[in-house]
Amino acid sequence: MITVLYGGSRPDGNTVQLTQKALEGHDYNWIDLTEYHFNPVRDYRHNDKEIHDYTEDYKPVLDQMLASDVVIFASPIYWYSISASLKAFIDLWSETMLDPEYEDFKERMGRIEFRLILVGGDCPKVKGNPCIKQMQYTLAYIGAELTHYIIGTAERPGDIMQDSYALERAEEWCQVLPQS
C-alpha cells in the first residue's frame, strides 16, 4: 500500500501534479495534512512520562502511515524546509516513541520505504538540499531510510509540466513503485 502525506497549500498545485505523475496507474491513499489538526509536541523525554492519548487528528494519520509499504512525503519547499503541516506531523513522532501502544514504532518505521517529492521555484535543486538532509537525518534517527527523492522546479501554477527532469524521475518511480 502506498500513502502520500501531502503538506502543500494548493490542492491542485505543482507538488500535487508531480506526485500524481509519479503515481499514475497506482492505487494510493492521499492524506492532505492541511486538513488535519496537529497540536504542538509534548516533550516528555526527560520526565519519565508516557504518552497515552492524542487530542488531535494525529493517530489516524499515524496508523495509516504505519500500515503502508511505501510512504511519499510531498511538499513545496517553504523557507528551505518542508511545509509546516508535514513538519508538525513528523514532530509528533517524538510522542509516539513515548507511547506504549507503539513500542515497536521504530521497528515498524524501518520496514517502510520512504520517498520525498519537493517542488520549489527559486533554485530548488540547491535550496531543497536542507529538506533532503532533514528527512535523511529524521528517518535515520528512527531506523528508516529516505530511499529516493525528486526535486521539481516550478514557480507558477502548472510550471512543473515544463520540468522534464522531474517528470522523467516521476515516470521512473511510476515504473518501480509496487502495484496494490
Q: pLDDT at position 180, please?
A: 64
List, in sequence order, every residue forming a beta bridge with 59; answer none if it has no partner.
Answer: none
The segments of the chain whose pLDDT lies below 50 read none
Q: pLDDT at position 53, please?
A: 74
- Residue-wise pLDDT tens digits, 44-87: 666 767 777 776 799 999 999 999 999 999 999 998 899 999 99
Q: pLDDT at position 100, please?
A: 92
Q: pLDDT at position 48, please?
A: 66
| pTM (predicted TM-score) | 0.93
